[in-house]
Structure 1
């Protein structure tokens, strides 16, 4: 039950037994669990190291800490570690973006280059138009951010129609929040009416377009904040991005279908909010991840707090873990 918190099975058994029989000595506890004293000592040390047991001077046996205090504190420490790792990932992503930008500057677009840098919205749109017109059989894209701008929708309409008419398989994944934005929803339905395949999911890892599994376009974060993107033709990178797309595509919901709820009664968006809450993200950051307003993010979070009977984010995370609504892997 507590494996998601990093607790071994033996330590969990010892902890639960001590909660149920707090006045029993260690000899009785070892007999009850059918373990020797060395095994019991290892489990006690493990529980003490994560503050689920407290050793008091002058007392032969440690005192068990209540789950409300001990497990909440443990979860809080894990959340702090996850936040630290999340910051490291963001810093690593920024460093990678800068590295790719530098490489693109020193390696201008040629037939032999596997990275091409695009600067400015006009250059990006021109390149996307070229790729759309030369696409032969497949175009896969992630469109995060929820509602799409009227300008972007208008510029894409003719290119999408031409590609689909040529027999290109066009697959697009939007975020669930587009279902609440009429212009984007109408555009997605229009795509579906032409024969395109459209699905939605709670959140998307990045914006990207993959053409014929030979070239991909992704945005580029730059130090000066300019609008930029890179065109990648490296076989290894394209293979990885295609695998990522297919993984998200399989779990996404077709646009014409209602959003499913799982066996716990959670929608994909609600489960994603739980993960982000447990990871320590703010309401503003959650809203950005899901492509929704801050008000919507707060409403979903408040509803989850009520269903879990939680009064804080930490408590909501602990309850969600204990009910197996999320796992330790989700926190990564």
Structure 2
């Protein structure tokens, strides 16, 4: 309990017992505390060093100092030591601040910064407008999250119109789930009539904007895009994101095209749902990834189970594997 004052557990126990009876010697203290005698002697030496024991003039016995005096004195010493350390820390902090101020210009001049964090949705939207206005060749976008709100799509139209009018190629990837949303489909038709390109895939890894294959904007937290975004300009990270976009775009289906089914009769969305569920995701998590409601996911899964002639999810997984659906 009193370790901060320099007292270990053995010394504290000996001191407490001596306050009750200071006439007990080493042997009696050891017996009462179930300590070995060398342990008691070491504790007595420690207490003497801390000036919690003193020798009386009348005899040679060690007597405990009144704790109101002895412990208060130890506390004062600790306080003085903390104040000394605080002064040392303040001097160190001042020296560090001076050093950083002296060399920061040299450091930032020799190392190019490739990332900038934008805090909050307002800062992100403002930066998107700035980047779109500065685009000269391409605007590439991943838009996960399912159907877009009519207000959001209408708000983006003036910017989209301006970008395409300047001859900038605009390609946007949505989730397949937006095919069931009239508002998003109407917007896609409007965009393609202007010269934009829209495709869909079953799932997307994250929300992303790429400008001229040189600047990338990605969310700080993919689960909550309102927290802000990070703007990347480093050649390495941006090249990796561009390659990701190109790969996803190659697999995207134009929004005006009907959903394709493979030779097993599965749509890409159904294939992705089976993959997500088999990897351990819950219905809700898989639905979020696909931009589908929980009700829709369960309806799709019920349909798949019926086609597989399975009575349980476990049996459906086995049959899907046997048929090569996974």
TM-score over 0.5 (shorter chain): yes
CA distance in 2, matches of 1:307, 1:238: 43
2:314 alignment partner in structure 1: 314
Paired residues of 1:139 and 1:169 also in contact (CA < 8 A): yes
2:115 alignment partner in structure 1: 115
Inter-CA distance 317–224: structure 2 relative to 1 (3 Å threshold): closer
Paired residues of 2:121 and 2:226 also in contact (CA < 8 A): no
1:231 alignment partner in structure 2: 231
TM superposition shift of 1:225 = 8.9
TM superposition shift of 1:222 = 9.1
CA distance in 2, matches of 1:290, 1:244: 18
Ranges in structure 1 where 5+ consecutive residues have no aligned partner: 1-108, 327-332
- Deviation beyond 6 Å, 4+ runs, structure 1: 222-225
What secondary structure is seen at the aligned counterpart in 1 of 2:248?
Answer: helix
Inter-CA distance 185–242: structure 2 relative to 1 (3 Å threshold): same
Inter-CA distance 283–114: structure 2 relative to 1 (3 Å threshold): same
Matches within 5 A, 1:234-253: 234-253=234-253
What is the CA deviation profile of residues 190-219 of structure 1, one whole-angstrom value per residue up to 9, with x for unaligned ones? Answer: 111101110011111111011100011111
CA distance in 2, matches of 1:171, 1:156: 14
TM superposition shift of 1:307 = 1.0
Matches within 5 A, 1:1-332: 112-221=112-221, 227-326=227-326
What is the CA deviation profile of residues 97-140 of structure 1, one whole-angstrom value per residue up to 9, with x for unaligned ones? Answer: xxxxxxxxxxxx99932111011111101100000000000111
TM superposition shift of 1:280 = 2.2
TM superposition shift of 1:315 = 2.0
TM superposition shift of 1:226 = 5.8
Ranges in structure 2 where 5+ consecutive residues have no aligned partner: 1-107
2:101 alignment partner in structure 1: none
Higher deviation after alignment, 147-156 or 188-197 = 147-156
Q: TM-score, normalised by structure 2?
A: 0.64
Q: CA-atom RMSD, angstroms?
A: 2.1
Look at both structures and tell me which one has the larger radius of gyration over its CA atoms: 2
CA distance in 1, matches of 2:222, 2:305: 38
What secondary structure is seen at the aligned counterpart in 2 of 1:198?
Answer: strand
CA distance in 2, matches of 1:224, 1:174: 18
What secondary structure is seen at the aligned counterpart in 2 of 1:319?
Answer: helix
TM superposition shift of 1:243 = 1.1
Paired residues of 2:121 and 2:225 also in contact (CA < 8 A): no
Paired residues of 2:207 and 2:222 also in contact (CA < 8 A): no
Higher deviation after alignment, 193-202 or 317-326 = 317-326
